[in-house]
Amino acid sequence: MADRYCRNCGHELAEDDRFCPNCGRPIHEAAHVPTPEADIPVPPPPQPGEGADSSEFQLSPVSKIVAALLFIILVVIVLAALAGGSGGGNGGGESGESFHQKPAEKPAKAEDSGETFTKENYAQLVSDPDAHEGAKVDVTGQVFTSPEILEGDTAFQIFVDPENGELNTAVLAEGTDLGLEMDDYVHVVGTVTGSMEGENAFGGTVSAVAVAASKIEPVSAVAAVDPAQETVEVGRTLTDQGFSITLKKIEFGEETTRAYVSAYNGTNTLAYFSDYDTKIIQGSRQIDQETAYDYDVKAPQSELNAGVRTEGVVTFGKADSSQPMEVRFEWSSDNYNVTSNPIVFEIANGELSESATGSGAEVSEASLIQAVEDYYQAADREDWAYTYEHLDSQTQAIFTEEEWAKKNEWFADTYPAPLSTLDVQVNGFASDPVVSVTVYRAFTDGTSQTRNTFFLIEDGGWKHRFGQEEIDSFLPDASYEEFVAAQ
């Protein structure tokens, strides 16, 4: 076989070389066969319209890797040049490889070109940064080098297209306390100062957009990769046999839908929250839970001991925010005698449907406060049947309905002033198995009373459970006569 040589640097090529080991050029661009008898044909470079956009700077996959490695190795050199550092033409670095900015010195404030580049048109800027010097940049990207401090400024590089590891940009920002780390996502607003060019370890040329930042703002991975186009605030809790799900909000992105949830195991045994079985139903369409590989979110814990709470985000495919939907959660109990039911939130017009709240009772703080107010207003109007019906089974068990009515009537006759104001404070979470509340009552005669008591969900609604203070007042083991004598 005839010898082959690189057209770019003249280096001799081996038979199986796909890239020049000296300068990094692809073989189809660099191979030169001095004799017509070459037995390995050299393909021509791709032409415009044949799988490549001629208006955008393109690299082969291996070249992209080489370029990325170069940027990581030379970030200090690259951005020292942007900062106007000196040191033998390499920005004070020690690698001895050149990396040149145009212009070479730290530029004066570039004249506003009137252009603005975002992710949508950033490829046009990357293709010729120098032609757009002075343009505004407003992009979000992922930091792929360790930020460096250069003469009181912070220098780092980002991929504006982190999903594909493309659209490299060298950023220089004022200050040293930005708090950035490699792999962080950041929102950058600034001005194009030109391009950064350098030679990689093989002599190949790589380049990046150079930006002087006027604003640096760390953002979450979700906001960077698939920002919410619409958010529905739900803030409601449903429960099934003591197991509660709070649906805080739903975010609708361009690619995914995210449900922010809290789950609480209020049963007395181990329970399982199957977030991977969660589904969104819209008409005849089912949208399953799916793992978001483009950004990291905290998933809720799946195995919950009694009394344990977990929070996290359940991610789905794209749902239509304008259409009614069911968000269906599954759970199960370690107790084989318990048959769990799905907990289903029905969302319509951006709100939880009041007519269908799924398999469980509503367990929101608002519904709890309303239940407490209803209970004490019933007591004020001396509706003892209502108050007895709204005692929990544990409290009902220590009173007959007749005893309950007689003892409450005694209090009403002894302290006859009507209720003036009523305030309720919830101590803890409405989804706790037993919720502590403090009730503040003021009466028309100027007296007031503060009572600490408890409410819980039972038989599909809020019920009142006596605390020790109330037990001591009502004396459930005493007859009515003993009760009156003890007051």
Question: Quick check: is 172 in a domain?
Answer: yes
Tens digit of each residue's pLDDT (9 = 90 or more) over 5-32: 776 677 787 877 766 777 666 654 444 4
Question: Quick check: is 421 in a domain?
Answer: yes
pTM of the model: 0.51
Looking at residue 83, its pLDDT comes to: 47
Residues 350 and 376 reside in one and the same domain: no
Q: How far is CA 287 from CA 40, 178, 253, 312, 328, in A?
A: 51, 40, 14, 19, 11
DSSP string, 96-150: ---EEEESSSPPPPPPP-S-EE-GGGHHHHHH-GGGGTT-EEEEEEEE-S--EEE
- What residues make up the domain containing 353? 230-361
CA dist., res. 362 & res. 370, Å (int): 12
Looking at residue 20, its pLDDT comes to: 75
Find, among 166, 210, 164, the residue nearest to 188 by Cα. Answer: 210
- Determine the distance from the C-alpha atom of residue 143 to the mean position of all C-alpha atoms in its chain, rounded to a whole number: 18
pLDDT average, residue stretch 273-293: 90
Last residue of a domain, one of 361, 390, 415: 361
Question: Which one-letter DSSP state was computed for residue 95?
Answer: S
Could you give the number of structural domains in the chain?
4
Q: How many CA atoms lie within 13 A of 362 on its CB side?
A: 19
Looking at residue 257, its pLDDT comes to: 95
Last residue of a domain, one of 292, 327, 361: 361
**What's at 247, amino acid-wise?**
L
CA dist., res. 56 & res. 207, Å (int): 13
Residue with more model confidence, 245 or 91: 245
Residues 1 and 78 reside in one and the same domain: no
Q: Is the pLDDT of residue 149 over 90?
A: no
Question: Quick check: is 270 in a domain?
Answer: yes
Question: Quick check: is 278 in a domain?
Answer: yes
Mean pLDDT (the chain, rounded): 79
Residue with more model confidence, 400 or 47: 400
Looking at residue 45, its pLDDT comes to: 43
Residue with more model confidence, 350 or 141: 141
CATH number reported for the structural domain that contains residue 389 in this entry = 3.10.450.50
Looking at residue 436, its pLDDT comes to: 93
Residue with more model confidence, 461 or 420: 420
Residues 282 and 172 reside in one and the same domain: no
pLDDT average, residue stretch 160-188: 88
Strand-pair partners of 276: none
Question: Quick check: is 55 in a domain?
Answer: no
* 1-5, 139-143, 187-191, 323-327: segment of lowest average pLDDT: 1-5
Q: Is the pLDDT of residue 275 over 50?
A: yes
Residues 272 and 341 reside in one and the same domain: yes
Residues 348 and 390 reside in one and the same domain: no
* 28-37, 329-338, 354-363: segment of lowest average pLDDT: 28-37
pLDDT average, residue stretch 384-388: 93
Looking at residue 452, its pLDDT comes to: 94
pLDDT average, residue stretch 479-486: 91
- CA angle 187/188/193 to nearest 5° reads 165
Question: Quick check: is 86 in a domain?
Answer: yes
Residues 101 and 83 reside in one and the same domain: yes
Residues 71 and 192 reside in one and the same domain: yes
* 53-57, 257-261, 271-275, 442-446: segment of lowest average pLDDT: 53-57
pLDDT average, residue stretch 141-157: 89
CA dist., res. 457 & res. 465, Å (int): 10
Q: Is the pLDDT of residue 2 over 90?
A: no
Burial of residue 315, with CB atoms counted within 10 A of its CB: 0-12 exposed, 13-18 middle, 19 or more buried: buried
What SS3 class is residue 356?
Answer: coil
Question: Quick check: is 243 in a domain?
Answer: yes
CATH number reported for the structural domain that contains residue 244 in this entry = 2.60.40.4170
Tens digit of each residue's pLDDT (9 = 90 or more) over 415-429: 888 999 999 999 988
Q: What percent of the chain has pLDDT over 90?
A: 44
CA dist., res. 282 & res. 320, Å (int): 8
Tens digit of each residue's pLDDT (9 = 90 or more) over 225-256: 888 999 998 888 888 888 888 898 999 999 99
Question: Quick check: is 51 in a domain?
Answer: no
